[in-house]
Amino acid sequence: MTIRKAQGEVPVDQTLLDPSSAERSDDDDDAYDDADLSDAGQYRDAESEPLTGEGEGDGRRKDGRRNPEVGGVPPRSKSWARRWLIPTKFGCGLILLFFATVTLLLIAGGMWGLKMSPLDGQSPPWYPSPRGGTEKTWAKSYKKAHALVRQMTLVEKVNVTTGVGWSMGMCVGNTGPVERLGFPSLCLQDGPLGIRFADNITAFPAGVTVGATWNRELMYLRGKAHANEARRKGVNVILGPVVGPLGRTPLGGRNWEGFGSDPVLQAVAAAETIRGIQSEGVIATIKHFVGNEQEHFRQSWEWGRPNAISSNIDDRTLHELYVWPFAESVRAGVGSLMCSYNQVNNSYACQNSKLLNGILKDELGFQGFVQSDWLAQRGGVASALAGLDMNMPGDGLRWSDGKSLWGGELTKAVLNGSVTVERLDDMVTRIVATWYQLEQDDTTKWPELEEGPNFSSWTDEQMGLLHPGSDDKTIGVVNKFVDVQSEGTTKHGDLVRKIGAEGTVLVKNSDDFLPLDRKGPGNIGHPYRVGIFGDDSRNNPKGINSCKDRACSGGTLAMGWGSGAVEYPYLIAPLDALKEAFDQDTVTITSFPRNKLSVKEEKAMREQDLCLVFLSSNAGEGYVGVGDLRGDRNDLQPQNMGASLVKSVVKKCGNGKGDVVVVIHSVGPVLVEDYADIPNVKAILFANLPGQESGNSLVDVLFGEVNPSGRLPYTIGKSVKDYGPAAKIITATKQIVPQQNFSEGLLIDYRHFDYYNITPRYEFGFGLSYTKFQLSSPVLEYKDIPKRPLPYPRSGVLPPPRYDTTIPDPSTALFPAGFRKLRKYVYPYISSIKDISQGKPQYPPGFDVAHPSPLSPAGGGPGGNPDLFNAVAEVKVILSNLGPRDGSSVVQLYVSLPRNYVDEETGEKIDFPVRVLRNWQKIEVKKDGRQEVAMQVTRKDMSYWSTTRQNWVMPTKQGIKIEIGFSSRDIRETLMY
Ligand code: BGC
């Protein structure tokens, strides 16, 4: 039986690797000794400029401590042990011995900050992995999956769980099929704002822009349009949306892929996006679970050291901040979840059993499958037991090494008992059930998926290699150039334009300077002279897609860089849109498309009546740098000398008398202190990252076609220090496992500003309109009387599917006779039965099937205990439009739990943020109109996570404050619950 279509030579066989153990296969020497690892694999070709670094070891913990998550190593064959002793490997042994000794000495000396890990900073074990199939909304899919999976052989099951290797298929991730039973290879493709590496697609606005719209419908529609394109390109799984990073630090390189620095904003936006994506039959992936809040050190080897950073997050903060959006994604039915590169509490997120088994699969009741971020899997057995269901892209500890930790190694692990048959069955069933859940088996409903991907991530040519990562030279038609951008009323570009305009936040508008008149103000005795300044005003002269994965500076910024970027089909630059928008008979436009102006240009600047200045601030994913930026931002200033440009324009525009409008395209907050208070700076707009229709979206707002209704999805402080210590990116450390303690707990972004009473420049939730709104007549209705501190006990769930758990005959897993293997291609087969080691498997501490970890009282339904999502109150308020035009407002609901609160049962003193966003409604009201706004508040909204009770607790003895307003600092009405 042949499983893979690909044929070639076998990759070097290796022992199932466990990065926490001090043992390894000698076949890996080359990988470990190569200090100059690059992540070039993320690019499509070899011309990339990846980060490189000095290797420091062998990819696993060297601190001598035993990682509680990993523990057991699979039994190894005698030949493996013997190999350690043979002289040819003596050099390698010496190196390891050296590292081990150095590490022990360092620990003994208490150096290198290993002692910095919090005392209780290790993630507790949670085993065995809860099986899927317990939730009634998934019951039919699980039934079908059971019927299919029970027919699968061991290697067929393994094939479904394992990626075939980087660039072995057309997509960034490709799994193995089970052709015999009609289960396809799945195509997994980035990313959150469009289809990466594809032609004829749409470059949608980035997550941060969508967050800034606060418009649930647009969030849904963007997801839907994106997935519509993905399906027509043959993509099964979209690698988005992003809610991690959450935005702990405003400098975080990938914050822009998510929706803003608040868990509820992220949660709602993600849930709507997921619903939109999945309404088109495409599986959404919520990522990155969890704590990947900075790019520096996010990933093993990328930053010159073997281990990824450990985000040390306490249980309460994890629940109330970082896991919250993932919970809502599960509630929205998300099919897949991607675990992150980093460690959490010193255990890799993709093998952290507390996170995956405990929180995600038990407490949140996740029914879909967990896939690893690309190479975030650092152990084979450990990750399987901890709840990982699919490894991506299939390779091992290094890019494109073909030495999978699963594939044949997983087959061995099942055959030698290290991974239970039950666990493997659950992994496969979860993947297959998700495929059924999205009805991808229905070829009449989604015919495009039957054909597989019709584009190649690796070439723009029509003909190309079918398995470019291997030695196979077979070519075929790989790009069919299917245009998926849609036409007419459903043209996706129109949606982009709309989101871009609604995601533009007007933060200053002195004397109602905006909207502009296309003809200029008139009556000034000469044509209205408009100067347009800045590199960000026009397109990159080298081409809009000239930098790989958009990693460059130059030209207007409409998306950040990295795997979350796409090829622009076109990009409307602000300058071009403005030239079109102004009336050429009455307005003269002069363009100054640079950040550093010549003397002549400075002189010309003095002759302008209106100066529009464009600034930008870029960031992206850590596998590539731009100038001195290594993923994360270095500061909150505009980049490329934008700060001096704006200062100069403000001073000299119209000889100091000209009007100035500042437009900022950025990945997050940018400081405006240098000019925000200067009177001739009439308007400031945060246009975020608008996607391909950038200029059109902006023009719609500037000229009043669209009344601005964007609200800040983050706080704009007066300095980076205002954000507190959490803002600091760890950029240099001698720690072998960089330790990042999230000691600020819940106090990030506006919660920090409010708690420490720091006045921001523009607060979270803030944004101006061309009209005026008012709130009145607030009413609070109780839904749940009497008040109870705890949710009802969790109720029973459906029994998961059962299979025969007998370990299969190893001979069924052998490579078929005469099989031609491709180099580095990942197969599920084993080469010899002798590779199956004998003996009793050792499991990680805490892994005892007879004594499973106790179920969480906070679980029992999708996203958590269903009672948590019951409304306990409803707030109603009247929104009136008192201004000169129609417009939309965002009515925001914040909850403040009682001050000086003592837990009613445990007696613990519990501190709370001043207020937290819990709901909002965006409502359009006609001029002079009024409308009732109703918002529910759930039990979870009014609760905190008690680490002692391990449950959500709602204070019942003291009142809970509910505030309604137009931003986190503009509170108009207060009610008590
Ligand atoms: C990123 C993921 C992405 C994956 C595949 C990783 O480097 O962190 O977000 O989905 O690559 O491109």
pLDDT in tens, 522-533: 889 999 999 999
Domain check: are 733 and 785 in the same one?
A: no
838 vs 15: CA distance, rounded Å: 14
Instruction: Name residue 12's amino acid.
Output: V
Residue of 571, 561, 441 whose CA lies nearest to 493: 571
Domain check: are 941 and 820 in the same one?
A: no
193-225 burial code (b ≥16 CB/10 A, e <16): bbbbbbbbbbbbbbbbbbbbbbbbebbbbbbbb
The CA-based dihedral angle spanning residues 466, 467, 469, 474, taken in that order and rounded to the nearest 10 degrees: -80
193 vs 567: CA distance, rounded Å: 11
Q: Would residue 683 count as lying in a domain?
A: yes
Q: What is the pLDDT of residue 291?
A: 98
Half-sphere exposure of 383 (CA within 13 A, CB side): 37
**Rg of the Cα atoms in the chain:** 28
Nearest protein Cα to ligand 1, atom 3: 563
Nearest protein Cα to ligand 1, atom 12: 563
Q: Would residue 468 count as lying in a domain?
A: no
* Dihedral angle sign, alpha carbons of residues 85, 87, 92, 97: positive
- How much of the chain exceeds pLDDT 70, in percent? 88
CA distances from 963 to 766, 869, 888, 918 (A): 15, 20, 20, 10
End-to-end CA distance of the chain: 65
The atom number, within ligand 1, closest to the CA of 285 reads 10
CA of 190 to the centre of ligand 1 (A): 7
Q: Would residue 208 count as lying in a domain?
A: yes
CA of 759 to the centre of ligand 1 (A): 37
Nearest protein Cα to ligand 1, atom 4: 374
The atom number, within ligand 1, closest to the CA of 190 reads 10
User: Is the CB of residue 382 less than 8 Å from the CB of residue 351?
Assistant: yes
CB-ligand 1 contact for 287 (6 Å cutoff): yes
| Chain center to CA of 772 | 35
What is the pLDDT confidence band of residue 82, given thresholds at 50, 70 and 90? very low
Kindly report, residue by residue over 199-209, the tens digit of the pLDDT. 999 999 999 99
User: Is the CB of residue 743 less than 8 Å from the CB of residue 857?
Assistant: no
| Chain center to CA of 840 | 40
Q: Would residue 26 count as lying in a domain?
A: no
Residue 274 belongs to what H/E stretch? helix 263-278
User: Is the CB of residue 654 less than 8 Å from the CB of residue 608?
Assistant: yes
Q: What is the pLDDT of residue 786?
A: 86
Q: Would residue 368 count as lying in a domain?
A: yes
CB-ligand 1 contact for 373 (6 Å cutoff): yes
CA angle 887, 266, 899 (to 5 degrees): 95
Residue 98 pLDDT exceeds 70: no
CB-ligand 1 contact for 248 (6 Å cutoff): no
Q: Would residue 192 count as lying in a domain?
A: yes
The atom number, within ligand 1, closest to the CA of 564 reads 9
CA of 784 to the centre of ligand 1 (A): 43
CA angle 720, 725, 727 (to 5 degrees): 50
Catalytic residue among 58, 362, 373, 632: 373
CA of 392 to the centre of ligand 1 (A): 9
Residue 877 belongs to what H/E stretch? strand 871-881
844 vs 824: CA distance, rounded Å: 30
Domain check: are 824 and 782 in the same one?
A: no
Structure tokens at 869: 């999502």
Domain check: are 394 and 261 in the same one?
A: yes
DSSP 163: B
CA of 287 to the centre of ligand 1 (A): 9
Q: What is the pLDDT of residue 43?
A: 54
Residue of 390, 428, 364 whose CA lies nearest to 148: 428
Q: Coil, helix or strand for 188? A: strand
Q: What is the pLDDT of residue 370?
A: 99
Domain check: are 683 and 779 in the same one?
A: no
Q: What mean pLDDT comes out for the span 418-438?
A: 98
CB-ligand 1 contact for 239 (6 Å cutoff): yes
Residue of 303, 365, 302 whose CA lies nearest to 337: 365
Structure tokens at 304: 């010159």
Q: What is the pLDDT of residue 44?
A: 56
- Residue 343: what are its φ and ψ, rounded to 5°? -95, 155
DSSP 973: E
146 vs 236: CA distance, rounded Å: 20
CA of 646 to the centre of ligand 1 (A): 35
Q: Could you tell which of 38, 190, 400, 623 is best to mutate to test the pocket of ligand 1, judged by most ligand atoms within 8 Å of the CB?
A: 190
Q: What is the pLDDT of residue 121?
A: 65
Q: What is the pLDDT of residue 145?
A: 99
Q: Could you tell which of 336, 566, 621, 632 is best to mutate to test the pocket of ligand 1, judged by most ligand atoms within 8 Å of the CB?
A: 621
Structure tokens at 893: 């609901």
Q: What is the pLDDT of residue 660?
A: 98
Residue of 764, 825, 823, 683 whose CA lies nearest to 966: 764
Residue 447 pLDDT exceeds 50: yes
Residue 106 pLDDT exceeds 90: no
How long is the chain? 977
512 is catalytic: no
Residue of 339, 330, 251 whose CA lies nearest to 671: 251
CB-ligand 1 contact for 315 (6 Å cutoff): no
Residue 50 pLDDT exceeds 90: no
CA distances from 62 to 23, 100, 188, 297, 736 (A): 11, 6, 34, 16, 7
Domain check: are 575 and 711 in the same one?
A: yes
* Mean pLDDT over the full length of the chain: 89
Number of domains, the chain = 3
Domain check: are 335 and 371 in the same one?
A: yes
CA of 340 to the centre of ligand 1 (A): 9
Of 18-22, 616-620, 667-671, 846-850, give the lowest mean pLDDT range.
18-22
What is the pLDDT confidence band of residue 325, given thresholds at 50, 70 and 90? very high
Q: Helices H, strands E: what count in the chain?
A: 21, 29
Parallel, antiparallel or unpaired: strands 187-189 and 237-238: parallel
Q: Coil, helix or strand for 723? A: helix
Domain check: are 421 and 498 in the same one?
A: no
CB-ligand 1 contact for 298 (6 Å cutoff): no
Domain check: are 952 and 822 in the same one?
A: no
The CA-based dihedral angle spanning residues 404, 410, 415, 418, taken in that order and rounded to the nearest 10 degrees: 110
DSSP 169: S
706 exposure class (CB count in 10 Å sphere: 0-12, 13-18, 19+): buried
Q: What is the pLDDT of residue 87?
A: 33
765 vs 737: CA distance, rounded Å: 37
CB-ligand 1 contact for 374 (6 Å cutoff): yes
Q: What is the pLDDT of residue 207?
A: 98
CATH number for the domain that contains residue 420: 3.20.20.300
CATH number for the domain that contains residue 587: 3.40.50.1700
The atom number, within ligand 1, closest to the CA of 292 reads 8
Residue of 885, 2, 835, 786 whose CA lies nearest to 512: 885
969 vs 977: CA distance, rounded Å: 20
Structure tokens at 67: 């990682």
Total Cβ atoms within 10 A of residue 477: 12
- How much of the chain exceeds pLDDT 90, in percent? 85
Domain check: are 678 and 637 in the same one?
A: yes
Structure tokens at 813: 């897993």
Q: What is the pLDDT of residue 796?
A: 87
CB-ligand 1 contact for 576 (6 Å cutoff): no
What is the pLDDT confidence band of residue 42, given thresholds at 50, 70 and 90? low
Kindly report, residue by residue over 262-279, the tens digit of the pLDDT. 999 999 999 999 999 999
Residue 12 pLDDT exceeds 90: no
User: Is the CB of residue 549 less than 8 Å from the CB of residue 562?
Assistant: yes
CB-ligand 1 contact for 308 (6 Å cutoff): no
Kindly report, residue by residue over 163-198, the tens digit of the pLDDT. 999 999 999 999 999 999 999 999 999 989 999 999
Residue of 524, 428, 467, 388 whose CA lies nearest to 155: 428
- Taking each helix axis from N to C terminus, what angle separates 216-232 and 263-278, rounded to the nearest 10 degrees? 40
CA of 107 to the centre of ligand 1 (A): 34
Nearest protein Cα to ligand 1, atom 5: 374
684 vs 75: CA distance, rounded Å: 64
Residue of 376, 344, 377, 372 whose CA lies nearest to 358: 344
Q: Would residue 283 count as lying in a domain?
A: yes
Q: What mean pLDDT comes out for the span 931-935?
A: 98
Q: What mean pLDDT comes out for the span 442-465?
A: 96
Nearest protein Cα to ligand 1, atom 6: 374
Residue 600 belongs to what H/E stretch? helix 599-605
Q: What is the pLDDT of residue 16?
A: 22
CA of 672 to the centre of ligand 1 (A): 32
CB-ligand 1 contact for 566 (6 Å cutoff): no
Domain check: are 949 and 830 in the same one?
A: no
Residue 71 pLDDT exceeds 50: no
Structure tokens at 733: 């450390």
CB-ligand 1 contact for 190 (6 Å cutoff): yes
The atom number, within ligand 1, closest to the CA of 341 reads 8
Residue of 45, 36, 48, 37 whose CA lies nearest to 551: 48
- Taking each helix axis from N to C terminus, what angle separates 263-278 and 324-331, rounded to the nearest 10 degrees? 30
Of 301-305, 388-392, 419-423, give the lowest mean pLDDT range.
301-305
CATH number for the domain that contains residue 897: 2.60.40.10
- Residue 300: what are its φ and ψ, rounded to 5°? -55, 140
Nearest protein Cα to ligand 1, atom 9: 563
CA of 374 to the centre of ligand 1 (A): 6
The atom number, within ligand 1, closest to the CA of 242 reads 9
DSSP 344: E
Domain check: are 783 and 867 in the same one?
A: yes
CB-ligand 1 contact for 563 (6 Å cutoff): yes
Residue 385 pLDDT exceeds 80: yes
DSSP 208: H
Nearest protein Cα to ligand 1, atom 2: 373
CA distances from 116 to 110, 112, 310, 751 (A): 9, 8, 11, 26
Q: What is the pLDDT of residue 266?
A: 99
What is the residue range of 876's domain?
773-794+860-976
Q: Would residue 789 count as lying in a domain?
A: yes
What is the pLDDT confidence band of residue 837, given thresholds at 50, 70 and 90? confident
